[in-house]
Amino acid sequence: MNMLNLPKKVYFKNGCANVALRELSEVYHMKRALLVSNPRLYRNGIVSSIGRQLRKQGIRTAEFFSIGAVPSFADLRSGLPKLLEFEPDVIVGIGGGAAMSAAKALWLLYENPELDLAAAAESPARIRTGMKAKQVLVATSFGSGAQSSPFCVLKNDSGDICVINSFELLPEISVTDARFTESLSPAQIKACGLATLSQSIRAFASPDCCEYTQGLLGQAVRAVLSNLKAAEGGCPVALEKLHNAAALAGAAYGNGMESIDFAAPFYPLTTEKATQRDRIETLAHDLNLSGIQTLWEACEALF
């Protein structure tokens, strides 16, 4: 049986984070929130602004931001004592894919203290969440769409990438607020946009892509092709469209792909041109382009 699995609540509008976070006190009656982020976002004040709002709502906060570009098992073990001592009833991931993966993994370990993360990646059916805490994911960049996806990308103790894929890792609340992307540099915007574009096209080409995910991915590709250059130039409307595109793509990834590789080169590779013609021809048609060659040229023009 096919299903479309999404976060329980999805907020997507410039400034929507304030409304979404108010739910933690007004709807869920939360008392303790663990904020998970990375050092850069902690320094630039985004984490502290969210923390202040939560404290004004009567929610105590603790913070964990000791993670690398890809969160490692060692990073997570260092955060586990604080997590278990603080006993949050909500874990708030703030950042890009790395911060949100760290938040998902800490949530998973909090709910299942004896769980081996490597084993969870091999057998995700054993994963259970939501017994002790809820999760909220606030995206501050748009390369991964992790706020809407079930993927958790980690680095194991051997230094290899380990991807956990479970719908148990979908958050209670997903927040896509373009206000948090305003500090991104043109180079970061370009990298995020190309990552969204590349992963979306690869997901569209997957044989597991269905009508529902095909629609989400087509919208994401269209948004990147139409708005990336303007967003690099500082257009706030274009930036918001890219942020939303990543959220759409993230929702589609988990419903049509077994795993994901954000280290893959940007699309299209020569081998992909040779092997994915039929599916990509369908995408080009959906985008009202004259053909597959036109789509490839539009992608390559963004580099």
pLDDT for position 89: 97
CA separation for the pair 279, 226 (Å, rounded) = 21
9-181 is classed CATH 3.55.30.10? no
- What's the pLDDT at 17? 97
49 membership: H or E segment, kind and range: helix 46-56
**Confidence (pLDDT) at 1:** 45
- The C-alpha atoms of residue 281 and residue 253 are separated, in whole angstroms, by 20
Backbone angles phi, psi at 188, to 5 degrees: -70, -40
The pLDDT of residue 289: 94
For residue 244, count CB atoms less than 10 angstroms from its CB and return exposed for 0-12, middle for 13-18, buried for 19 or more: buried
Record: fold of 186-300: Dehydroquinate synthase-like, alpha domain (1.20.1090)
And the tokens for 26? 């007004």
Domain ranges for the chain, please list them: 9-181, 186-300
Q: What is the pTM of this model?
A: 0.94
Tokens at 279, concatenated: 């599916």
Per-residue pLDDT of the chain (303 residues; tens, 9 = 90+): 467 899 999 999 999 999 999 999 999 999 999 999 998 888 888 999 999 999 999 999 999 999 999 999 999 999 999 999 999 999 999 999 999 999 999 999 999 988 999 999 999 988 899 999 999 999 999 989 999 999 999 999 999 999 999 999 999 999 999 999 998 999 999 999 999 999 999 999 888 888 899 999 999 999 999 999 999 999 999 999 999 999 999 999 888 888 888 778 888 787 877 777 888 899 999 999 998 899 989 999 998
